[in-house]
Amino acid sequence: MSGVIYWLDLAGVIVFALSGVILACRSRMDPFGMLVLAAAP
């Protein structure tokens, strides 16, 4: 069961990182700004 929770957690992190990158693209940020938004909790 803990394996399922691990993969769901990993999928959630990836989805939220991608949403940060998409937001940065819409705001015309540079790659460093994209990294900061993707890594923000």
- Residue indicated by tokens 């940065």: 24
Q: 8 is written with which tokens?
A: 């769901």
Could you tell me the pTM of the whole model?
A: 0.64
Give pLDDT, residue 39: 74
- Check residues 40 and 30 and name the one with the higher pLDDT: 30
Residue 41: pLDDT over 70: no
CA distance 21 to 31: 9
The predicted-structure confidence for 10-34, as pLDDT tens digits, reads as follows 999 889 878 877 887 888 888 887 7
- The tokens describing 32, both together, are 């460093």
* Gap between the Cα atoms of 27 and 36, Å rounded: 13
User: Three-state SS across 2-33?
Assistant: HHHHHHHHHHHHHHHHHHHHHHHHHCCCCHHH
